[in-house]
Amino acid sequence: MQRFEKLLDEAIDLLPEGRVREAMRYSLLAGGKRIRPALLYTALKGYGVPEEKGDAFAMAIEMIHTYSLIHDDLPAMDNDDLRRGRPTCHRQFDEATAILAGDGLLTYAFETAAKSPCNETVRINALRILAEMAGAGGMVLGQDLDMSEVSGVTDWEDLRRVHRYKTGCLLSAPLMIASWIAGHEEDEEKWHKTGEKLGLAFQIQDDIMDVRLTPEEFGKSTSDDSNDKVTSVTLLGMEEAEALMNTLYSECIDETASFTGFDSAAMKELITGIQNRTK
């Protein structure tokens, strides 16, 4: 993903100098797994489309993901001190700058995506997907549910709903967008469902790591216990949570193999890599 890192760096360089730009750069270029752009690029590869056609939307999705992390870490939300192995944005700078950096990344994401060289129909629909998956009916809803309901949740299906929106939406978005860029827009809803399932598996895996790893090993604060949050592990138990995670990952792999006109080999490798991650 070195080419992608360079694209992000160059995109931030286009903004006016200032403290907010540096905070945006600090969080956006802090590393991370880059799973969302990797999903977009890998889906395009499966359709036989050059990954460069997805650059604008790959960058946009990563900007939106990073903005969500900055805001999620704020004292008003999870109040975390560590992200991607170093101080969170509001700890490195201050709360006001972190809020503005998140705002800047969110709006810059749509400016970046709007410059995609895709034809107008594809660009408009990809922007629609981005807005739906990131907005008040998508990831933002998930964050709201996470803040207002998790402490009182005692049912797995309620927690599953939180994960569907908070994590699943931004994992669905790159897959759905790739279907439009590749000219297979009929696959949009199928990718949406696969992405939601992938998001649930990913979140269960995070809950497991939150228990098993120290913050230094995990690369971020393990704040669920201190915030009294219900997790898949506390509801299902470690053994059942791990079994469900593995089942969901296997189902995702099987689903991608069923798409017409899609070579799933690279996607299988990517999903397996996510399943085997250690942080």
Q: For residue 142, what pLDDT is reported?
A: 92
- Taking only the tens place, the pLDDT of each residue in 101-131 is 999 999 999 999 999 999 999 999 999 999 9
- Tell me how many domains the chain contains: 1
For residues 204 and 241, the answer to whether their CB atoms sit within 8 Å is yes
- Taking only the tens place, the pLDDT of each residue in 170-189 is 999 999 999 999 999 999 99
The percentage of residues in the chain with a pLDDT greater than 70, rounded to a whole number, is 92
Q: Is residue 148 over pLDDT 90?
A: no
Q: Is residue 1 over pLDDT 90?
A: no
Nearest Cα to 195, choosing from 61, 85, 82, 66?
61
Report the DSSP pairing between strands 86-87 and 82-83: antiparallel
Nearest Cα to 194, choosing from 178, 181, 183?
178
Would you say the pTM of this structure is higher than 0.85?
Answer: yes
Specify the CATH number for the domain of residue 120: 1.10.600.10
Q: Is residue 230 over pLDDT 90?
A: no
Residue 204: give the domain boundaries.
2-275
Identify the band that residue 31 occupies on the pLDDT scale cut at 50, 70 and 90.
Answer: confident
**Distance separating alpha carbons of residues 230 and 147, to the nearest angstrom:** 11
Q: Is residue 6 over pLDDT 70?
A: yes
Q: Is residue 225 over pLDDT 60?
A: no
* 194 SS3 class: helix
